[in-house]
């Protein structure tokens, strides 16, 4: 049976470096470098400049992924775009990216809305499309522009200090004979926890979708019950990692590298400890990226390549948890 593999990865972080000291300097936010580092492991994150969009960042990341995959744009047949912070409510970022990268021909573009699990959901869809022989080469990108939608007051400080902007992309194509490619995947959601981490407005479920009152109440900012999210993240990430390994008939000891979603370093350390994965077999970028949601895993992949931690045929475990709640895992051969 045909299999898909990742042929190359790319990433882009915008230029505005925001340190914890910069956030500490915002009096209304009432936070500190010490609190942020102790509770999350984050030291700095990047924000877009005025006018810079998710699609701008996607274009950079995709061009780098294509270069690393040694493919030209002409060979790409489909786009999958994961983001929870699209440039506009309508249409999705996939169409804007199609116009940017392929202005002279049409390309199918699918938008994925699965927050921190979006990249793994997208990877599973891409794998299925390649296996089904619908396409040969697919561009999968995750971007996030959080900085333009954060509450820089005490009310929103729990969420605000976590997030950064960024983009990550991969190119997928058919795996050559003998290469295991994408081996197994597991996807989950549990909507009864949707309101534990959500962005309520603007909402088409309400008429009008937004109002001055709603804005005055700050209900257009993301809200999170951090402790509940934390607890579920650890439990579900461990659970789904075991699930995907079992599906593939593999053991934790077979894993060469673990690339977890980057929401909080403490979550990842607890997950790795419970799984029994040593620190040397894990890549974290959160210290210098913050949580870039759908972009975190491809950014980690790029960092693993830069650090020389990925060799051909290495067994790679990707696991994520986020709003929805959604959680997901993929096991693949590099
Ligand atoms: N600066 C200073 N103090 C703060 C901040 C801040 N930025 N944020 C919260 N606090 C305070 C709280 O008000 C509270 O004060 P109190 O004791 O006086 O009431 C105290 O710190 C402790 O608050 P907790 O919420 O219990 O802190 P916790 O140790 O749980 O850390 C955090 C909070 C970092 C948000 C953690 O709960 C977490 O990481 N949760 C999971 C985040 C996550 O995984 N999100 C999913 C991905 S995002 C996505 O999918 C879109």
Bridge partners, 172 (sequence order): 6, 138
Structure tokens at 39: 């509770």
Taking only the tens place, the pLDDT of each residue in 38-50 is 999 999 999 999 9
- pLDDT at position 294, please? 98
Residue 246 has pLDDT above 90, yes or no: yes
Q: Which of 20, 62, 116, 232 is catalytic?
A: 116
- pLDDT at position 266, please? 98
- pLDDT class of 298 with cuts at 50, 70, 90: very high
Bridge partners, 4 (sequence order): 174
**Contact residues for 206 (Cβ-Cβ < 8 A; gap 6+):** none
**Measured from the CA of 229, which atom of ligand 1 is nearest?**
41
- pLDDT class of 199 with cuts at 50, 70, 90: very high
- pLDDT class of 91 with cuts at 50, 70, 90: very high
Is pTM beyond 0.85? Reply is yes
**Contact residues for 37 (Cβ-Cβ < 8 A; gap 6+):** 20, 43
Mean pLDDT for the chain overall: 97
**Measured from the CA of 160, which atom of ligand 1 is nearest?**
7
- pLDDT at position 1, please? 86
Cβ 144 vs Cβ 295: under 8 Å = yes
Query: 261 an active-site residue?
Result: yes
**Contact residues for 115 (Cβ-Cβ < 8 A; gap 6+):** 84, 293, 294, 322, 323, 324, 326
Overall average pLDDT of the 251-260 stretch: 98
Overall average pLDDT of the 208-216 stretch: 97
Whole-number Å distance between alpha carbons of 172 and 181: 10
**Contact residues for 139 (Cβ-Cβ < 8 A; gap 6+):** 62, 65, 66, 76, 78, 79, 80, 101, 169, 170, 171
Measured CA to CA in angstroms, residue 106 lies from 45, 94, 95, 282 at distances of: 35, 12, 10, 39
268 lines ligand 1 (CB under 6 A): no
Overall average pLDDT of the 101-119 stretch: 97
- Of 229, 64, 252, 26, nearest to 147 (Cα)? 26
- pLDDT class of 138 with cuts at 50, 70, 90: very high
Cβ 144 vs Cβ 54: under 8 Å = yes
Overall average pLDDT of the 16-20 stretch: 98
- Determine what percent of the chain is predicted with pLDDT higher than 70: 100
**Measured from the CA of 84, which atom of ligand 1 is nearest?**
51
Residue nearest atom 39 in ligand 1 by C-alpha distance: 264
- pLDDT class of 67 with cuts at 50, 70, 90: very high
Whole-number Å distance between alpha carbons of 205 and 208: 9
Half-sphere exposure of 126 (CA within 13 A, CB side): 36
Say how far residue 208 (Cα) sits from the centre of its chain: 31
Per DSSP, the residues of 95-136 read: HHHHHHH-TTS--EEEEE--GGGHHHHHHHHHHHHHHTTS-S
Q: Which of 232, 291, 300, 302 is catalytic?
A: 291
Query: 116 an active-site residue?
Result: yes
Q: Which of 93, 146, 232, 261 is catalytic?
A: 261
């Amino acid at each position: 049976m045909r299999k898909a593999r990742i042929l190359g990865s790319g990433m882009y972080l915008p230029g505005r470096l925001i340190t914890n000291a910069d956030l500490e300097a915002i009096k209304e936010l009432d936070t500190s470098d010490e609190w942020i580092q102790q509770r999350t492991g984050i030291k700095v994150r990047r924000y877009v400049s005025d006018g810079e969009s998710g699609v701008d960042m996607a274009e950079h990341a995709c061009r780098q992924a294509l270069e690393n995959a040694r493919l030209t744009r002409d060979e790409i047949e489909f786009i999958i775009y994961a983001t929870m912070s699209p440039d506009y409510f309508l249409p999705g970022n996939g169409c804007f990216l199609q116009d940017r990268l392929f202005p002279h021909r049409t390309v199918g573009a699918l938008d994925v809305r699965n927050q921190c699990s979006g990249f793994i959901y997208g990877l599973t869809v891409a794998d299925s499309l390649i296996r089904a022989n619908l396409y040969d080469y697919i561009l999968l990108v995750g971007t996030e522009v959080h900085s333009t939608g954060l509450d820089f007051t005490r009310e929103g400080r729990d969420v605000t200090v976590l997030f950064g902007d960024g983009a990550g992309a991969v190119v997928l194509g058919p795996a050559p004979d003998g290469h295991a490619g994408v081996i197994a995947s597991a996807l989950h959601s549990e909507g009864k926890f949707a309101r534990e981490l959500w962005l309520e407005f603007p909402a088409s479920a309400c008429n009008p979708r937004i109002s001055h009152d709603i804005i005055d109440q700050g209900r257009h900012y993301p809200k999170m019950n951090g402790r509940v999210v934390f607890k579920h993240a650890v439990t579900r990430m461990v659970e789904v990692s075991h699930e995907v390994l079992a599906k593939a008939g593999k053991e934790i000891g077979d894993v060469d590298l673990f690339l977890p979603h980057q929401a909080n370093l403490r979550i990842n350390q607890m997950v790795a400890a419970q799984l029994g994965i040593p620190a040397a077999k894990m890549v974290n970028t959160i210290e210098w990226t913050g949580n870039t949601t759908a972009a975190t895993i491809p950014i980690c992949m790029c960092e693993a390549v830069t650090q020389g931690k990925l060799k051909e045929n290495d067994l790679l475990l990707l696991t994520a948890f986020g709003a929805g709640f959604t959680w997901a895992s993929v096991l693949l051969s590099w």
